[in-house]
Amino acid sequence: MRTKAIEEMATRPKTEVAFATEKVSDYFGADVFDKEKMRRYLPKAVYESVVSAIDEGRRIDRRIADQVAAGMKAWAMERGATHYTHWFQPLNDSTAEKHDTFFEPMWGGGSFENFSGDLLVQQEPDASSFPNGGLRNTFEARGYSAWDPSSPTFIIDDTLCIPSIFIAYTGEALDFKTPLLRSLAALDRAAVEVCQLFDKEVGKVVATLGWEQEYFLVDEALYRARPDLMQTGRTLMGHSAAKDQQLDDHYWGEIPDRVIAFMKDVEQTAFRLGIPLKTRHNEVAPNQYECAPMFEEANIAVDHNTLLMTVMRRVAVKHKLQVLFHEKPFMGVNGSGKHCNWSLATDKGQNLLAPGKTPKTNMQFLAFFVSILRAAAERGTMIMASIATESNSHRLGGNEAPPAILSVFAGSTLNSVLDDIEQRISDKALSPDEKTGIKLDIGKIPEILLDNTDRNRTSPFAFTGNRFEFRATGSSANCAMPLIVINTAVAEQLTRFKELVDGLIGKGVKKDEAILQVIRQFITESKAVRFEGNGYSQEWHEEAARRGLKGITSVTSAIKEYINPVNVELFGRFGIFSEVELAARYEIKNETFLKKVQIESRVLADLAANHIIPTAIRYQNVLIDNVRGIKELFPKEYEVMASAELNTIRMISDHVKNIREMSAAMVEARKKWNAVEDVIARAAGYEEEVRPFISDIRYHIDKLELIVDDRLWTLPKYRELFTI
């Protein structure tokens, strides 16, 4: 294609990469009202009570809210802020903000800047247009947002942003943050109980999260020439480029100047917002990149990830780029994920998933490790349901991303430790020698793990030395959802671990031995979920089926886990989601799935009818003219001479016919399912009967792309989209 877009790209001035003149530490967190600023802007007593509320996960006392708001306002206005907003994460792919100005005219003349404690702590946005899964129909339409003091406020442009939870008037959560905070609290309680078996001093356990964000960049002009990218976030058509990722020359390659300029700009903004970005590199596919921060406390890390996605989108536009967070923007090359590195840390700064120096700390490590294995074994399908979305389903299970079956990779050495423990410990009392032997071996775990460098990239949930890495999350997702499920599932097993140990102790078993016995029991119970081999292989799919592990085969069936009574019971037991909240989420997930397929189907049919077919016919007419000319000049030989053209004319007719017929059938399928009232049935119908047309129609379009004259083709091709 030769459009203005490509010309514009070619004539654009070269990017200048500016080098930073300031140290990052000079401005890191400059736009955040963090503890250091609180100390400066708040009276001492107020500061202390805010900090203790943060540490204890409490709401801010209404009585001090006015003073906190006053300090915050003073800081924000000094920095030029004129507006404030409650910033929250509703149940769609983005964040929400509604700005209000501090400025207020006074009755009878004059004006002032107002920001009271009430405005800081709670607001009542009209929630009616956010996804609510029917909560709005059955209850009150209104919702309210409330400040989450454990995540600091920050300034973007002229607006003070207040990280908030978002709930319905009746108390049901309408966002990701509320259940995340609930799951973190449940995990904290359960983990502290287990820690105290080993160390009475531990008073708090937090989950830590280090995400890795993959994304694509495309030139803005080319992006705008692709209605499918603009409207659906992915290309619905496009034949593979002759060269894409087959030479592995992009991964960790030189970062193009244009991209490095974008990355630097993103980093500067991120650093000012206190987001500790650490790593940047080229990823496997052309135009694909990744960034990752230092890990942080999970709630903050989730806020930082969602915030960074916004920053990236905005900065990209400044560089005449578009950032694609879709999991599979281009067929045939790798898609994007958001690996979630997850661990647990105590208030004493100890990483509970890092083996320690003594047998005691290693017993503790094992207690946590096997509880996580057990959680994955018991709640694997719910964990996978948490990341099952329309867009992620294009990526999962390909030879680039983990399969849609949850298994855990522990590493061969740790695996043999587990096997060894399972064999050596029995229900019978251990002899003193046996005990010493086992303890000695457990003491050796850290050395073993130091050499344990094998890092299986094909496992969805891999232990990587001092943390677990959950690799199935999609790049566009809010990573709170898988974390909520993992936190809850682990809290469940830790609680059970403690109960079983207490039970044995009650029967007169010594504490150490009781712990070892429960560790062994958990090892046995979670065996099916441990897998060390190649997760991409066909053998694994067969093996997983033998083990009774269920994978995602379709999105609408995978998400049924949200309403599976065993999960409803679990989330209810730990106070994470009520049944109503789960049902609402289930409905939203179905609705979102269905709407995304519907949009794709419409865009595709439109492009097929208005771009592809007219172009194909134009080219076919050129060929027809050509054949006519040949026939005129060589009436006897023309059939031989023009046989290739004649064949191409037939091929074009064939593809066009297929595209027309399938598009018509797809529209009929949409009509059929649109008439179905029940959204759950409609989503399943869309998945089974509408969605397959999208790839079937694409097949014929991509064939036409290979045939038709490049000058006539109206859409930028993959090889063009892959230039930067």
Q: Which residues of this protein are in contact with ligand ADP, per CB under 6 A? A: 208-210, 212, 279, 292-295, 341-343, 351, 466-467, 469
Return the one option of ligand ADP, Mg ion, none that residue 101 interacts with (CB less than 5 to 8 A, by type): none
Give per-residue burial for 606-634: e unless 16+ CB within 10 Å, then b.
ebbeebbbebbeebbeebeeebeebeeee
Under the binding rule (CB under 5 A), the answer on residue 339 touching Mg ion is yes
- Whole-Å CA distances, 549 to 6, 468, 553: 49, 20, 12
Would you say 146 and 125 are in contact if contact means Cβ atoms under 8 Å apart? no
Nearer to ligand ADP, 453 or 626 (CB): 453
Tokens linked to 418: 């587990």
Nearer to Mg ion, 272 or 338 (CB): 338
SS3 338: strand
Q: DSSP state, 687?
A: I
Crossing angle (nearest 10°) for helices 298-318 and 177-195: 140
Q: 521 is in the binding site of which of Mg ion, ligand ADP, none (Cβ under 5 to 8 A by kind)?
A: none
| CB of 293 vs Mg ion, minimal distance in Å | 12
- Closest CB 234 distance from Mg ion, rounded Å: 23
Distance CA 102, CA 113 (A): 5
| Minimum separation from the CB atom of position 457 to ligand ADP (A) | 9
> Which of 451/539 has CB closer to ligand ADP?
451
Which one, 92 or 279, has the nearer CB to ligand ADP?
279
Nearer to ligand ADP, 209 or 363 (CB): 209
The packing angle between helices 643-674 and 691-707, to 10°, is: 160
Q: Work out how close the CB of 294 gets to ligand ADP at its nearest, in angstroms, rounded to a whole number.
A: 5
Nearest residue to 368 via CA among 541, 190, 557, 580? 190
556 neighbors 687 (Cβ within 8 angstroms): yes
Smallest gap, in angstroms, from Cβ of residue 343 to ligand ADP?
A: 3
> In DSSP terms, which residues pair with 474 in a beta bridge?
337
Distances (CA, A) of 396 to 474, 495, 661, 690: 9, 32, 30, 20
> What whole-number distance in Å separates Cα of residue 215 and Cα of residue 285?
10
Per partner kind, with CB cut-offs from 5 to 8 A, the member of ligand ADP, Mg ion, none near residue 92 is: none
339 versus 496: smaller Cβ distance to Mg ion: 339
Q: Is 670 in the site for Mg ion (CB under 5 A)?
A: no
Phi/psi at 352 (nearest 5 deg)? -70, -15
Question: Which residue's CB is nearer to Mg ion, number 133 or number 337?
Answer: 337
Residue number with CB closer to ligand ADP (174 or 311): 311
351 binds, among Mg ion, ligand ADP, none (CB under 5 to 8 A by kind): ligand ADP
Closest CA to 122 of 90, 166, 154, 161: 166
Residue with tokens 């830590």: 208
Assess contact for 674 and 652: CB atoms under 8 A. no
Q: Which amino acid is at 87?
A: W
Q: For Mg ion, which stretch binds (CB under 5 A), given 6-14, 34-42, 335-343, 351-359?
A: 335-343
295 binds, among Mg ion, ligand ADP, none (CB under 5 to 8 A by kind): ligand ADP
Between 203 and 222, how does the x/- string for binding to Mg ion read (CB under 5 A)?
A: ---------x----------
The option from ligand ADP, Mg ion, none interacting with 467 (CB < 5 to 8 A, set by class) reads: ligand ADP
- Least distance between ligand ADP and beta carbon 409 (Å): 13
For the CB of residue 152, give the shortest distance to ligand ADP in the complex, in Å: 19
Residue closest to Mg ion when measured from CB atoms = 339
* Positions in 262-281 near Mg ion (CB under 5 A): none
- Which DSSP letter does residue 22 get? S
Residues in contact with Mg ion, counted by CB under 5 A, come to a total of 2
Work out what residue 294 binds among Mg ion, ligand ADP, none; the CB cut-off runs from 5 to 8 Å by kind: ligand ADP
Residue 105 CB, shortest distance to ligand ADP, in Å, is 47
**Minimal distance, residue 455 CB to ligand ADP, in Å:** 7
**3-class state of residue 83 by DSSP:** strand
715 and 611 Cβ atoms separated by less than 8 Å = yes
- Name the minimum Å distance from CB 310 to ligand ADP: 19
Q: Closest Cα to residue 119, out of 106, 143, 100?
A: 100
Q: Which residues bind Mg ion (CB under 5 A)?
A: 212, 339
